[in-house]
Amino acid sequence: MEIYPDYIFGASQPQLYQWIKESHPALYHKVKQRVKEGRFEAQGCMWVEADTNLIGGESMVRQILFGKRFFREEFGIDIRHLWLPDAFGYSGALPQILRKSGVDYFVTQKMSWNSINRFPLHSFQWQGIDGSRVLAHMLPEATYSSPALPWAVRKIEKEYAQAGVSNRAMMLFGIGDGGGGPGEEHLERMMRVQRIPSLPIVKQERAAEFFEKWARDGQWFPVWVSELYLERHQGTFTSASRNKRWNRRIEQALHNCELLASLAMATGGSRYPALDAIWREVLLYQFHDILPGSSIKRVYDESCARYAIMSDNLAAETRKALKSIARRIDTARMTRPAIFFNTLSWPRSHWIKGKRGWRSITVPAVGYAAVDSADGAGGHFDISATSDSLENDCVKVRFDRDGSLKSFYDKQAGREILTGRGNRLAAYRDDGDAWDFPANYADLAPRYFALISSRARTEGPRAIVTQRYELGYSKLTQEIVLTAGSKRLEFRTIANWLERQSMLRTSFPVSVQSTDATYEIQFGHVKRPTHRNTSWDLAKDEVPAHKWADLSQRDYGVALINDCKYGHKIKGNVMDLCLLRSAPYPGPRHVQDNEVKPGQPHHAHTDQGKQVFAYALFPHEGDHVAGGVIREAYEFNYPALVIDEKPHKGRLPIQHGFVTIDNKAVCIETVKKAEDSGDLIVRLYESTGASVSCALRFGLSVAAVAETDLMEENPKAIPLGDAAVRLSFGPFEIKTLRIKTASKMQ
């Protein structure tokens, strides 16, 4: 910077600035001075350049919340662009989250990596699943490491797809992949290319300046609707499965801890815990080469160890909040009080085992129910379990000799769900790396896990078959569970996975006909084709989804639900889920097999050793909305929280809901303390893709309610009457409410 006065350096990711601040304060002082001069640009609004396929909706919000607040507090800068050149595809939920966070622009180059189709746009209006739009720029040079040579400038001029409506395009020069930025050779070249009269005008300037000038032509940019699906790196939906499971669990633990701590605070109990440090660390591990599985082994050894510590800390804080609320509940008339907590936004039923047997209870939305576990009498359950069948009042399941499903009959609908054998645990040859697996992997016959034993039992309302399998040195146990009153068939799995260069998958051929399937993403869902009519359809073979994927025709459908898996493939009528991959870390390694003893985890391959995961098949009448798939998947991922108490008096009733909604389409995703006050933040979204209205009623003493943006700013008061507010949502719309409580409940 001292030698080249025109040189402007750009760096994203507040996490990196934070590390410099902590470890190199003198250098950080120089950085702050250069930022003030306009020579050093803080870029991007996320805490790190995060993956956007796999992280949860609230994580996506916090990436931006923490990122923008850091740059504002440290440098007095409000970042209005998302800098994400290298992530592996971009969720259709992003445009709304960006707009509601005060972010108007998005830059990438990754779509140029498509393996089949050429992405046709460079400057465009990106429209999300809710209809929100941001202006997006995909680098015409198709790289963030431009050599700054004349041919690079000429390539931009020649390739820029929107040259007819805009005379501005961005060139990122220097060493971007792996960091380092421009060297002296790049800056010398820049001085020269600026003097070549036959080339377009080249100018060094801050990205923020570029976006403001470039956006003047934005109204003429074409529109791209929904997700930006990258036709490459589909292996990242599954690689490093253990890390993905930890991320899902920590996201859920943060949801529960924040919600319960908020309620404890609002009811006059314990103080709200300090969770920012945990959030920042979770956000760090969502970097686009960590969570997707494309980092070295050391990263996963260290992050998994840290996840375990964070999980314990969150469990302790959650228990503290549970105890705080439980102490205020009047359980004086009970012999053995047990308090069940529901952190979801609708009432849900639970089976509980008391001293005298099992019974069902209903817990209010965002609330609790205190029950006396000494009460109740055991009843008869219409269930049965044998080594080759499970049955309840809703469905009957039959197993083949190899342990796979040969029949799944919906007794209530009077129809067979399967058209072939389901849940054959197949290991395919996988010669890929952490990023990609061969597109033709299914052309070769897989190896199947062999059934070793099958044992049946019943536990109250649950019918269970435990199956044990082996494949080479690998062993796998599944508890297949069917519960009274439910059509959901669960596969709870523990595996000691020792295969190398192999991919484990399960599949279910179902009796449903549809040209598209539905997949959950953050704050909503998208439809993708089940056929290969065009090259664009063909490219969407393996696709990401969160808690569920669904294949439905108008009258009937089947959902595949999971607790930590993301790689899905639904083609024709076959629903397929990728469970594990053993690929080299993070690319080919020259490790001899004789370095590892037979039957031991191979340190050079991913997913070796113990793996725990669960998935479920859920048939339903109607489509995914009518069939209740969204709620079913939430309940599968968020088990009941329970705490035992001693009998005591209290001012809270034996059951209570703190927030209730009168429309099934609206979900509460988050309840937390406001960033800058003791108010509560409630974040909701419309989950079905419809325009709806609802009443939100509070079981707290509320003084005022305002709607804010995702930064918890720009409040707009909402009329409050009889402890309730009325809200209107567009399809997949997110709303954030700031709740000022009138007084603490004692």
Residues 6+ apart with CB under 8 A from 440: none
In the chain the first and final C-alpha atoms are separated, in Å, by 61
Task: Write down the pLDDT at residue 599.
Answer: 87
Q: Which amino acid is at 567?
A: G
Strands 123-127 and 223-225: parallel
What are the sequence ranges of the domains in the chain?
Answer: 9-229, 384-637, 658-746
d(CA 638, CA 640): 7
Residue 598 pLDDT grade (very low, low, confident, very high; cuts 50, 70, 90): confident
* Bridge partners (DSSP) listed for residue 372: 337
Strands 405-410 and 395-399: antiparallel
Axis-axis angle for helices 14-23, 57-75 (nearest 10): 50
Task: Write down the pLDDT at residue 380.
Answer: 81
Is 168 within 8 Å of 258 (Cβ atoms)?
A: no
Answer whether residue 57 shows pLDDT above 90.
yes
Q: 9-229: which CATH architecture?
A: Alpha-Beta Barrel (3.20)
Average pLDDT over residues 545-563: 98
Q: What count of residues does the chain have?
A: 746
Burial class (CB in 10 A: 0-12, 13-18, 19+), 591: middle
Residue 377 pLDDT grade (very low, low, confident, very high; cuts 50, 70, 90): low
- Looking at the domain covering 384-637, what would its CATH class be? mainly beta
Task: Write down the pLDDT at residue 738.
Answer: 98
* Bridge partners (DSSP) listed for residue 353: 358
Task: Write down the pLDDT at residue 593.
Answer: 61
d(CA 29, CA 7): 19
The pLDDT > 70 percentage for the chain reads 98
Look over the chain and give the mean of its residue pLDDT values, rounded to a whole number. 96
In the numeric block, the tokens 């700031």 are attached to 738
Residue 178 pLDDT grade (very low, low, confident, very high; cuts 50, 70, 90): confident
In the numeric block, the tokens 């989950």 are attached to 687
Answer whether residue 601 shows pLDDT above 60.
yes
DSSP per position, 470-493: EETTEEEEEEEEEETT--PEEEEE
Average pLDDT over residues 59-82: 98
d(CA 567, CA 578): 5
Q: Which amino acid is at 600?
A: Q
Average pLDDT over residues 515-536: 98
The 10 Å CB-count burial string (b at 16+, else e) for 646-684 is: eeeebebebbbbbbbbebbbbbbbbbbbbeeeebbbbbb
Task: Write down the pLDDT at residue 353.
Answer: 84
Work out the number of other CB atoms within 10 angstroms of the CB of residue 436.
19
Closest by Cα among 427, 3, 28, 505 to 237: 505
d(CA 47, CA 64): 7
Task: Write down the pLDDT at residue 592.
Answer: 62
Tell me the HSE value of 66 on the side-chain side, using a 13 A CA sphere. 26
105-108 sheet: strands from edge to edge: 81-83, 105-108, 133-138, 123-127, 223-225
Closest by Cα among 571, 348, 391 to 481: 391
Task: Write down the pLDDT at residue 269.
Answer: 79
Is 205 within 8 Å of 174 (Cβ atoms)?
A: no
CA distances from 585 to 207, 306, 428, 576, 745 (A): 35, 20, 19, 25, 53
Burial class (CB in 10 A: 0-12, 13-18, 19+), 237: buried
**What tokens were used for 394?**
């809703």
d(CA 238, CA 235): 6
In the chain, DSSP finds a helix count (H) and a strand count (E) of 12, 41
**What tokens were used for 460?**
């109250």
- What H or E segment, with its residue span, contains residue 73? helix 57-75
What is the C-alpha radius of gyration for the chain, rounded to an integer number of angstroms?
27
* Bridge partners (DSSP) listed for residue 738: 681, 706
Average pLDDT over residues 117-142: 98
Closest by Cα among 54, 52, 58 to 667: 58
- What H or E segment, with its residue span, contains residue 643? strand 641-644
**Which residues carry out catalysis?**
86
Task: Write down the pLDDT at residue 743.
Answer: 60
- Looking at the domain covering 658-746, what would its CATH class be? mainly beta
Task: Write down the pLDDT at residue 746.
Answer: 41
Residue 314 pLDDT grade (very low, low, confident, very high; cuts 50, 70, 90): very high
- Residue 560's SS3 state is strand
d(CA 218, CA 129): 20
Is 721 within 8 Å of 731 (Cβ atoms)?
A: no
If one compares 471 and 378, the residue with the highest pLDDT of the two is: 471
Residue 595 pLDDT grade (very low, low, confident, very high; cuts 50, 70, 90): confident
Answer whether residue 247 shows pLDDT above 60.
yes
Average pLDDT over residues 531-544: 98
* Bridge partners (DSSP) listed for residue 650: none
Task: Write down the pLDDT at residue 158.
Answer: 97
d(CA 524, CA 518): 10
Residue 154 pLDDT grade (very low, low, confident, very high; cuts 50, 70, 90): very high
CA distances from 255 to 57, 262, 330, 352, 671 (A): 11, 11, 26, 24, 8
DSSP per position, 415-428: EE-BSS-B---EEE
Instruction: Write the pLDDT tens digit of every residue in 265-305.
Output: 998 878 999 999 999 999 999 999 999 999 999 999 999 99
DSSP per position, 491-527: EEEEEEE--SSEEEEEEEEBS---SEEEEEETTEEEE
Task: Write down the pLDDT at residue 93.
Answer: 98
Answer whether residue 745 shows pLDDT above 50.
no
The pLDDT > 90 percentage for the chain reads 93
Instruction: Write the pLDDT tens digit of every residue in 196-244.
Output: 999 999 999 999 999 999 999 999 999 999 999 999 999 999 999 999 9
